[in-house]
Amino acid sequence: MTAPEADALPASYAHGTSTTPLLGDTIGADLDRAIAAYPGREALVDVSSGRRWTYAEFGAAVDEVARGLLAKGVTTGDRVGIWAVNCPEWVLTQYATARIGAVMVNINPAYRAHELEFVLRQAGVTLLIASLAHKGSDYRALVEEVRGRCPDLRETVYIGDPSWDALTAGAVSVPQDRPAVIGAGLSCDDPINIQYTSGTTGFPKGATLSHHNILNNGFWVGRTVGYTEQDRVCLPVPFYHCFGMVMGNLGATSHGACIVIPAPSFEPAATLRAVQSERCTSLYGVPTMFIAELNLPDFASYDLSSLRTGIMAGSPCPVEVMKRVVTEMHMAEVSICYGMTETSPVSLQTRRDDDLEHRTGTVGRVLPHIEVKVVDPVTGVTQPRGTSGELCTRGYSVMLGYWEEPAKTAEVVDAGRWMHTGDLAVMREDGYVEIVGRIKDMIIRGGENVYPREIEEFLYAHPKIADVQVVGVPHERYGEEVLACVIPREAGDPPTLQEVRAFCEGRLAHYKVPTRLSVLDSFPMTVSGKVRKVELRERYAEPAGGRD
């Protein structure tokens, strides 16, 4: 071996090995195993309504909904839409469709008529299960508005309405063993779920996922945080998204743990009340959710001592927030996850005993049975460790494809079955991965590459800033300049641009120092809790001329 080869850094490639094999079951078979092992333990609790199910009761309720769907003519492979906020019926629908091999189509509760119509038509939804209303949206009226343009849609069932009661009552016309008979004939590789990605440009795409994809991902996420039948998992994150239904629901049931629904949608106080009253051991959220909980005026009055772990995902966690989550929320084993809908979702995760720096500076290391690599975005060549490039992932978790869109699938899944994430990443020598930005979010100012995450992390330490998002906006001379959008700690005392620049002076390279500042009350968000940076860029897209 020559000297240069000996000194070369290893490639940015990692493969998660394990002596524990992947699950080869369908979701229904896995649930049956949990029911047999823990029939009397709680499987599902809905705090707002007070309803509770043991595993035995949950299994019976799932089968009742499955038989009700069969009575309405739903067959294996049919698409069943679910357009609802978090509620027990959502969870029952998830497992009931899996029981009979129907493909559940998740529909964002924030969708309006044109988005709803697109999903119903594109997926060919034959039966829709929907909430009655949410945040001023009359779902029944919206369904009626689009029904005539959705030829496949035969019927809509509304949760909390006589039509839901009619669905479950219809189960009596179907033999009790029918779901089990159908389930025995299903393959774990069958498509079972379509999740529409956010789609920052044009209409969203339907990531098609199998039993094998999402059951194993939920299992491994739960195993990594040490779930057992003793755990109670508080889920304020939306079920329509992988965070709720895979990392949450399947992560819990694949280990015999209990799903706790604190409220139909995220409410900081309701979440902490649920943790306290149900003695939850695990809490999920994106960083903005944890920030909202920590900032409650009466935060210190909640007894959160039952918590030991949880999952934070969706965006990077500021160091100061993580410190408070670990100490004040008792989540010493909290885990950071990285993923995307197309990969079921998690590829990288921190471990229970990782230190603070790894939990805030990285998104963890590769999960078992998954491969990751960092490549040059142009050439596709794997980069040396410590060099930035596009993160790619491969393994059981990669989607079957975008529903009926092979050309769009080929744009992101290459011939080697690598999923190209579009995220810029650096793999450290120890295999942990840092996400340094989206390829499309990277700011190029006067030829210098600027990564918003670095500036955001720095500005979180400013005494007047509670939250911050950094985006690139047009500049006539430099191409782009750095805009910091901040939420102040005190509404009446926001930071000025001069104060922010003075805070950065001498501590950040000059080209990274924000040249524009916007003070906001809140950031535009997706329902899953991610900040819509594309909206911030569009809002401030007017070039700033000669400002430097």
pLDDT per residue as tens digits for the range 308-359: 999 999 877 888 899 999 999 999 999 999 999 999 999 999 999 999 999 9
Longest dimension (CA), the chain: 76
Read off the pLDDT of residues 356-410 as tens digits, 9 standing for 90 and up.
999 999 999 999 999 999 999 889 999 999 999 999 999 999 999 999 999 999 9
DSSP 76-91: TT-EEEEE--S-HHHH
Residue positions counted in the chain: 548
The separation between CA 222 and the C-alpha centre of its own chain, rounded to angstroms, equals 14
Tokens describing residue 1 = 């071996």
Average pLDDT over residues 36-52: 98
pLDDT tens across 288-297, in order? 899 999 999 9
pLDDT recorded at residue 4:
43
pLDDT at 506: 87
Secondary structure E strands in 231-379:
232-234, 258-261, 282-285, 309-312, 335-339, 346-349, 365-366, 370-375
Does residue 274 carry a pLDDT above 60? yes
pLDDT score at 545? 47
Report whether pLDDT(498) > 50: yes
pLDDT of residue 446: 82
Per-residue pLDDT, averaged over 165-174, amounts to 98
Pick 125 or 442 by higher pLDDT: 125
* Token pair in block for residue 207: 């990531």
pTM over 0.95: no
Closest listed residue to residue 283, CA positions, set 239, 316, 237: 237
Where do you find CATH 3.40.50.12780 in the chain? 27-427
Q: Which residue has the tokens 């992390």?
A: 457
Residue-by-residue DSSP string for 205-258: -EEEEEHHHHHHHHHHHHHHTT--TT-EEE--S-TTSHIIIIIIIIHHHTTT-E
Angle between helices 27-37 and 55-71 (to 10 degrees): 150
Residue 251 pLDDT more than 90?
Answer: yes
| Dist. CA 443–CA 388, nearest whole Å | 15
pLDDT exceeds 60 at position 199: no
Instruction: Give dist(CA 272, CA 447) in Å, integer.
Output: 46
| Nearby residues of 162 by Cβ (< 8 Å), 6 or more positions away | none
Question: What's the chain's average pLDDT?
Answer: 93
pLDDT digits (tens, 9 = 90+) for 70-105: 999 999 999 999 999 999 999 999 999 999 999 999
Dist CA 454 CA 468 (whole Å): 11
Instruction: Return the pLDDT at 7.
Output: 58
Q: CA 361, CA 133: separation in Å to the nearest integer? A: 40
DSSP 152-188: T--EEEETTSHHHHHHHHGGGGS-TTHHHHHHHT--T
Parts of the chain belonging to CATH 3.30.300.30: 446-539
DSSP string, 2-43: -HHHHHSPPBSEEE---SSPPP-S-HHHHHHHHHHH-TTSEE
Question: What residues pair up with 480 in beta bridges, in sequence order?
Answer: 474
Answer with the residue of higher pLDDT: 1 or 293: 293
Q: Is 449 a residue whose pLDDT tops 80? A: no
Looking from the CA of 497 toward its CB, the CA atoms found within 13 Å total 11
Q: Does the bond joining 543 to the residue before it have cis omega, within 30 degrees of 0? A: no
Superfamily of domain covering 27-427: ANL, N-terminal domain (3.40.50.12780)
Please name the CATH architecture into which domain 446-539 falls: 2-Layer Sandwich (3.30)
Q: How far apart are CA 477 and CA 415, in angstroms?
A: 41
Kindly report, residue by residue over 102-147, the tens digit of the pLDDT.
999 999 898 889 889 999 999 999 999 999 998 888 999 999 999 9
